[in-house]
A and B are shown apart, each in its own frame.
Chain A
Amino acid sequence: DSGVTQTPKHLITATGQRVTLRCSPRSGDLSVYWYQQSLDQGLQFLIQYYNGEERAKGNILERFSAQQFPDLHSELNLSSLELGDSALYFCASSVHLTSEDEQYFGPGTRLTVT
């Protein structure tokens, strides 16, 4: 167990809907990363927050947004969902901003858009 928790575990929703995925980092970790893992795209970095501020952006669509709250938990909001958004969404946390630090991954949220 990495200490990183994600809810919900599974989510099934329809196209056009909006969902929120939640991540609680390890105690003491200030950095949170979000990733999307799909069969055809592999693991894609979406966005990183550090101590409440956005620090790096990857291949995140404009329909997606995220934030990190004062208690350091983070939420990933996905709106106007499309079939292609079906994937496993991981969050990871680390102590510092990067780079020597290991990232600890959560179990993921499996999103299915029908």
Chain B
Amino acid sequence: AQRVTQPEKLLSVFKGAPVELKCNYSYSGSPELFWYVQYSRQRLQLLLRHISRESIKGFTADLNKGETSFHLKKPFAQEEDSAMYYCAPIPPRCLMKTSYDKVIFGPGTSLSVIP
């Protein structure tokens, strides 16, 4: 069964310190991988997606197919990074035909950056 875990429910770091938000997934096939962020009192929004190989707000995410991980990293945390972060493996379009191919978001990690 598809599953995604984010082992840290809450993560606190000091401003300027490196931050890594972990995401591990188990999936039959090769899902597309996304990180979504929800700032306080704002909507959930896309932060970055693996397919784009992009860096957004200083965050990057490396896909490790061997470990089936997609950890989110930033070298120097800022106070405005405090938010809830969700990892989301999404089934490839060609497989979204059965009820088994569910959209799954991880449980989320609450990041708190201490000034």
Contact = CB atoms under 8 A, between A and B. Distances in A.
Contacts, number: 69
B90 A98 contact: yes
Given A42-B108, A43-B108, A99 B31 contact: yes
A81 B86 CA distance: 28
Interface stretch (B16-24, B44-52, B59-67, B68-76): B44-52
Interface string B85-111: 010001111001101011111111000
Given A55-B96, A99-B92, A102-B49, A33 B107 contact: no
Given A56-B96, A57-B99, A105-B45, A42 B51 contact: no
A104 B43 CA distance: 9
Instruction: Bin the interface of chain B by size.
Output: 20 to 34
Nearest to B89: A99
A103 B93 contact: no
A1 to B, nearest CB: 9
B98 to A, nearest CB: 8
Contact of A98 (B43, B45, B99, B103): B103
* Residue of B86, B96, B99, B104 with most partner-chain A CB within 10 A: B96
B32 interface: yes
Interface in A40-61: 41-45, 48, 55-58
Nearest to A106: B43
Contacts of B101: 56
A2 interface: yes
Interface in B20-36: 31-32, 34, 36
A77 to B, nearest CB: 19
Interface of B: 31-32, 34, 36, 43-46, 49, 51, 86, 90-93, 96-97, 99, 101-108
Interface of A: 2, 33, 35, 41-45, 48, 55-58, 90, 92, 96-100, 102-108
